[in-house]
Amino acid sequence: MTTDRFDELLRIKEEVQRGPDPKATERQHAKGKLTARERIGLLVDKGSFTEVEALRRHRAVGFGLEAKRPYTDGVVTGWGTVEGRTVFVYAHDFRIFGGALGEAHAQKIHKLMDMAISAGAPLVSLNDGAGARIQEGVSALAGYGGIFRRNTRASGVIPQISVMLGPCAGGAAYSPALTDFVFAVRDVSQMFITGPDVVQAVTGEQVTQNELGGADVHAGVSGVAHFVYDDEETCLAEVRYLLSLLPSNNRELPPRVRGEDPADRLGDALLDLVPADGNRSYDIRAVIEEVVDDGEFMEVHASWAPNIVCGLARLDGHVVGVVANQPLSMAGALDIRASEKGARFVQFCDAFSIPLVTLVDVPGFLPGVDQEHDGIIRRGAKLLYAYCNATVPRISVVLRKAYGGAYIVMDSRSIGADVALAWPTNEIAVMGAEGAANVVFRREIAAARDPDATRAEKIEEYRRELVHPYYAAERGLVDDVIDPRETRSVLCRTMSMLVTKDVDLPHRKHGNPPQ
């Protein structure tokens, strides 16, 4: 009898691992997609995955469901390790009910999310599902509500990563939107609230799934996706790399990994990377890569709001978040999208004790009727709020231009940067010397016999008096003007000093950031 039961268990376990009809696996592979278990195998360390509720089956009746009760109910849940650290993961199995969410399916995810929060470990969702299971009606919808509530409860407590590996439509799309990072794969991932058929029926617009909600659309247009890759293998490898940079929860510091890159290495290349002429552009990413450990920089939202660059790197082994203006795009000016992108990233870093390094080369906020009417005041204030609210170590470096309100917003000393540095090429002022001279000396220039010569004279006078590299340092708004070649060594020394920073905040339930 015992042997029979044991044989039955083995048979069931094999059925669980094998999944549904082999043809369903073939169809999945024919689409260029991996199965749920294959994906988990690429994500976690080999042999480390422990499955939870593999034998769970739904109890729904009607519409033929009672005759189809596969194990797992279309989602694989459990935990494993990534580089030895615990990570919880759930993966929709598109081969079963198209990965659609029903009551039992949702309850498995709820349980796993509760376990991740309790254990203080990251949660990764591998999304490949057709939305709510229509045959189960409101029970399926309630299942999504439970997921959203837990996403929100886990926000700022454990890192949450969504990996889009198939369709994600309707209410299902809101769970990834609530998580910290969204990964997508070209020609495989689609996200939208209403699909192409509904769009055409309501608006008359004809659009394909990829045109409406493909990976590149969400990476470059909507800003929903933070990372996009060409294949699942690369995507999951990058998820592993991101996890290696993050703490397990908000009570821990990010893991420190010392490399071979000396902390006191001089960056001679920086002298050529950044032109002294403020009107010439350059790629700020080259500057970042010259400064950080081994040139390794994981950029977030690379295709969206490119006028600001955000990403994770290491300085002398310490994980840091880098925020920098990008002169290659819109001269590095801040606009609505850049402000929202930067604010979200700063908030994430602050939630998970990741120090911030801000590289400043900003001519101001982008002028324009559209920007004003679309709320640059309200939405630009998000970045200001995020920096002012951040309690992690904060270092800012003015490389070149730092004008007006944009200078203040980019983590200036006045809003709480712990250490403010500048290169000798810096110009910190209300505005550029040309614009300032036209305002301050407008009457003198207009009355002059030679307005052009007088304007040039006044521009030089203003630059000499107020825009020279040491004006801010003389007034204590910059702690030091440094040799650009020593930027890495100064940042590493400063970060080592600030790593134990502790801040007491006034008690409050929560703030009310601008929306």
Distance CA 352, CA 356 (A): 11
Q: Which of 278, 405, 416, 435 is catalytic?
A: 405
Helix orientation angle between 336-351 and 376-389, rounded to the nearest 10 degrees: 20
0.85 surpassed by pTM = yes
Is 64 an active-site residue?
A: no
Cβ partners under 8 Å of residue 202, min gap 6: 194
Q: Which structure tokens are listed for 411? A: 């983590």
Convert the pLDDT of each residue in 206-259 to its tens digit.
998 888 999 999 999 999 999 999 999 999 999 999 999 999 999 999 999 988
Torsion, Cα 486 488 489 490, to 10 degrees, reads 80
Average pLDDT for residues 383-400, to the nearest whole number? 97
| Contact criterion met (CB below 8 Å) for 345 and 303 | no
Q: Which of 19, 99, 129, 171 is catalytic?
A: 171
- What DSSP designation does 66 have? G
Residue 469 pLDDT class (50, 70, 90 cuts): confident
Q: Is the dihedral of CA 194, 198, 203, 204 positive or negative?
A: positive
Short-list 20, 18, 79, 85, CA closest to 53: 79
Is 19 an active-site residue?
A: no
Convert the pLDDT of each residue in 305-316 to its tens digit.
999 999 999 999
Q: Which of 170, 195, 267, 435 is catalytic?
A: 170
Q: Which of 121, 225, 386, 406 is catalytic?
A: 406
Mean of per-residue pLDDT scores for the chain: 91
Short-list 378, 245, 251, 374, CA closest to 317: 245
Is 47 an active-site residue?
A: no
Residue 67: its pLDDT value, please? 65
| Contact criterion met (CB below 8 Å) for 188 and 167 | no
Is 78 an active-site residue?
A: no
Q: How many residues does the chain have?
A: 515
